[in-house]
A and B are shown apart, each in its own frame.
Chain A
Amino acid sequence: MLPVLQIGPLVVQTSLLLALIGFWLGLEFSSRAARRQPDIPRGFVDSAVFRALLLGLVVARLVYAAGSIEAYLNDPLALISPLPATMNGPAGLAAAIATIAWLAHRRRVPLRPLLDALAPGIGVLLAVLALGDLTNGTALGTPTDLPWAVTLWDVPRHPVQLYLAVPTLSLALWSLQGGERPFAGFDFLVVTGGYALILLISGIWREPGVVIAGGFRQEQFIAWAALLLLTLVGARWAMQDSPSSNVQLEKEHT
């Protein structure tokens, strides 16, 4: 466990450093994947992701500050503090997604090839964030005496962060390979659906976080719901691209 790197007076949060590396690697992967997509303008992914990151960070900080408005009015310079503890993550993520969606809409970039291009980057980032949990000693596994246990907070535990990171990274690398795919959007479904599936399965070895009614783990429940939604999206996209559906459409047109 190594939550911080202290170099003289400078304290660098390891998870933040990993997130930056993950972002850079993810962007590189997505740029490569985008080059395979003829419908995506050159440089669009890099530019859109950078803008999304910037806007996401600003919104994450502002939304956090809005929750403690008096404190920030007394100390407005805190808005530019480099400490990530004062960010509203979900708000920042929503702003980043909205930015990419708006830019894609404006440039008429088709959704499914864009999602495929983003898939390897999303996979790398999710894997690196899971590694960040390992260095931080957060999102802990349950105690175990298995030989591959890692000792966190003086207790040997399931390395659930690795259970999540390794397969997710493998899916990201697979999606970078290219090759024949059943339909556009498939890589995105595999990477995000795969992540949700691993989160659902590995949840049983994770220390309970938020527990909802009936003793269900909130994180697992969300993963399960996301997986169901992604399979429905997969069915719809397969149906839209199936030859029989196209024949039917042609008939309707004639």
Chain B
Amino acid sequence: MTMTDLFREPRTWQRFFVGVLLLGGAWLWLSRVDVGGSTAAAPAPRVGAPAPPFTAVLVDGGPIALSDQIGQVIVLNLWATWCPPCRAEMPALERVWQRHRDEGLLVLGLNQQESAERVAAFRAEFALTFPLALDPTGEIGRRYLLTAYPTTYFIGRDGTIRDVIYGGPMPEALIESRVTALLAEE
């Protein structure tokens, strides 16, 4: 009997069914996750992991530590003034920040390797009111494995990265929908 003949037999498929039911069920059982055990992931710039901690200097002076902001919904935007999509999405970030800042939203723009004067001039040009911080050496960008400008991390109240958007400009509706979903979570 050839393989083709074998597969023509309904009985072969019925045996397959029983095999999948028993062996597959056993494999499922073996693959179970220990829900009571520790599942805490190490900090990493990926969805599902805690956002890597950092402390940056605000354009106005003074430090801002990510760990101090946990408990809020955080939109962390890594950007530069020379990047056209970064410039294009700033007004949308500002509007979302204005709408939700009293509900526990923090929008944090983390500039990459530019001077405080340049960033301050940019902020004045776009009339931005959300906090802008500096990463003058690009150290935080490296920790976040920055590969594209802009890159935006949506961080939940528990400090876990919930979404990453590479590139831009992000439409306001995208930012708004992500933020409202995160704000609605307990």
Q: Which residues of A50-80 are within 8 A (CB) of B?
A: 64-65, 67-68, 70-72, 74-75, 77-78
* Contact of B173 with A200 in the complex, beta carbons under 8 Å: no
- Per-residue CB proximity of B54-69 to A under 8 Å, as 1/0? 0000000000000000
* Contact of B13 with A217 in the complex, beta carbons under 8 Å: no
* Contact of A86 with B174 in the complex, beta carbons under 8 Å: yes
* Contact of B171 with A220 in the complex, beta carbons under 8 Å: no
A242–B7 Cα distance when bound, in Å, is 10
Contact residues in A for B47 (Cβ distance below 8 Å):
138
Set B8, B166, B173: member contacting A75, Cβ < 8 A = B173
* Contact of B172 with A78 in the complex, beta carbons under 8 Å: yes
Number of A-B contacts defined by CB within 8 Å:
153
A232–B183 Cα distance when bound, in Å, is 45
* Contact of A231 with B167 in the complex, beta carbons under 8 Å: no
How many chain B residues have a CB neighbour from A under 8 Å? 53
- Per-residue CB proximity of A222-245 to B under 8 Å, as 1/0? 001001100110111011011000
* Contact of B180 with A153 in the complex, beta carbons under 8 Å: no
* Contact of B44 with A154 in the complex, beta carbons under 8 Å: yes
Chain B binder among A20-28, A111-119, A208-216: A208-216
* Contact of B27 with A137 in the complex, beta carbons under 8 Å: no
* Contact of A78 with B25 in the complex, beta carbons under 8 Å: no
Q: Which residues of B155-186 are within 8 A (CB) of A?
A: 163, 165-168, 170-174, 176-177, 180-181
* Contact of A224 with B20 in the complex, beta carbons under 8 Å: yes
Nearest A residue to B166 by beta-carbon distance? A4
* Contact of B32 with A83 in the complex, beta carbons under 8 Å: no
Given A71-B172, A86-B171: A228 touches B13 (CB 8 Å cut-off)? no
Contact residues in A for B35 (Cβ distance below 8 Å):
211, 215
Contact residues in B for A68 (Cβ distance below 8 Å):
173, 176-177, 180-181
Is there a chain A Cβ closer than 8 Å to B28's Cβ?
A: yes
Nearest A residue to B152 by beta-carbon distance? A85
Q: Which residues of A1-23 are within 8 A (CB) of B?
A: 1-4, 6, 9, 11-13
Min distance, Cβ B152 to any Cβ of chain A, angstroms: 10
* Contact of B85 with A83 in the complex, beta carbons under 8 Å: no
* Contact of A153 with B10 in the complex, beta carbons under 8 Å: no
Contact residues in B for A3 (Cβ distance below 8 Å):
147-148, 166
Is there a chain B Cβ closer than 8 Å to A201's Cβ?
A: yes
* Contact of B176 with A204 in the complex, beta carbons under 8 Å: no
* Contact of A77 with B44 in the complex, beta carbons under 8 Å: no
Nearest A residue to B3 by beta-carbon distance? A182
* Contact of B39 with A234 in the complex, beta carbons under 8 Å: no
* Contact of A228 with B17 in the complex, beta carbons under 8 Å: yes
Contact residues in B for A234 (Cβ distance below 8 Å):
7, 13, 16
Given A11-B148, A11-B166, A211-B33: A231 touches B174 (CB 8 Å cut-off)? no
* Contact of A204 with B49 in the complex, beta carbons under 8 Å: no
Is there a chain A Cβ closer than 8 Å to B24's Cβ?
A: yes
Is there a chain B Cβ closer than 8 Å to A221's Cβ?
A: yes
Q: Which residues of B27-46 are within 8 A (CB) of A?
A: 27-28, 30-35, 39, 42, 44-46
Contact residues in A for B138 (Cβ distance below 8 Å):
none
A246–B11 Cα distance when bound, in Å, is 16
Can you list the 3 inter-chain pairs with the closest CB atoms, starting with the nearest? A11-B167, A78-B171, A68-B177
Which residues in A have some Cβ–Cβ distance to B below 8 Å? 1-4, 6, 9, 11-13, 64-65, 67-68, 70-72, 74-75, 77-78, 81, 83, 85-86, 137-138, 153-155, 180-183, 186, 200-201, 203-204, 208, 211, 214-217, 220-221, 224, 227-228, 231-232, 234-236, 238-239, 241-242
Which residues in B have some Cβ–Cβ distance to A below 8 Å? 4-10, 12-14, 16-17, 20-21, 24-25, 27-28, 30-35, 39, 42, 44-47, 49, 83-85, 92, 145, 147-149, 163, 165-168, 170-174, 176-177, 180-181
